Amino acid sequence: MATLESIADARAALKATRDDTAAKLFARTTAQQNLDAALRSGDAGAIASAQSTFDSASSDLDSARGTEQAARDGLPDGLNAQITDWLSVPGSNPRQFLAPDDDFARMELTGNPVALFPVRLETRFDLTAAVLHVRVYPDEFFSDIHERELTPDEQDAGLAY
């Protein structure tokens, strides 16, 4: 069964691989810009060198993305696998998840705060079945639309600052 320490380790590993992927993406973007500049100049030697650098940077980025995906989804040490293991009944096959009350009781043991973010709730009461239906819509806070990587101009401005 996953422990809080193994989940923390998996989170740290995923962060490190994300940072590496961002650096490789920046390197490939820089190599692309250098290749574009070489193509504009028409210098065959510069083009060949820039193309080689771009191909190497692209290969490094593909490798980094694969490593990041393994850190996120890989079995048994990926973050998602660790979280799934933490939320599962130990020894269950096929995997069964803990009841909500059991999971909530375990949260009290972590010593970590729980944050509740804004959500939109919609409820409908089914009179014939005497059932309350609840839909939960996450707030836009959960949308992952931020691009982590800096553009070369942002990188240069940061270094100049």
CA distance 112 to 122: 29
Mean pLDDT of 44-70: 95
pLDDT-derived band at 139 (thresholds 50, 70, 90) equals: confident
- CB atoms under 10 Å from CB of 25, counted, come to 19
In angstroms, the CA 45 to CA 69 distance is 36
Q: Six-digit token pair at 106? A: 């375990």
CA 51, CA 59: separation in Å to the nearest integer? Answer: 12
Whole-number average pLDDT of the chain: 85
Average of pLDDT values for 116-127? 85
**CB atoms near residue 50 (< 10 Å):** 21
Establish how many alpha carbons lie within 13 A of residue 81's alpha carbon, considering only the half-sphere containing its beta carbon: 14
Helix 44-73 × helix 4-41 angle, to 10°: 160
| The two three-digit tokens of residue 37, written as one number | 């500049």
- Domain assignments of the chain as residue spans, ordered by start: 4-93+117-160
Q: How confident is the model at residue 117 (pLDDT cuts 50, 70, 90)?
A: confident
99 near 106, Cβ under 8 Å? Answer: no
When comparing pLDDT for 84 and 38, which is higher?
A: 38
Cα separation, 60 vs 25, whole angstroms:
9
Q: 101-114, pLDDT tens digit by residue? A: 776 666 666 666 66
pTM for the whole structure: 0.61
Decide which of 70 and 93 is more confident. Answer: 70
pLDDT at 143 over 60: no
Q: What pLDDT is stored for residue 140 in this prediction? A: 66
Position 8 pLDDT exceeds 60: yes
- According to the model, what pLDDT value does residue 106 have? 66
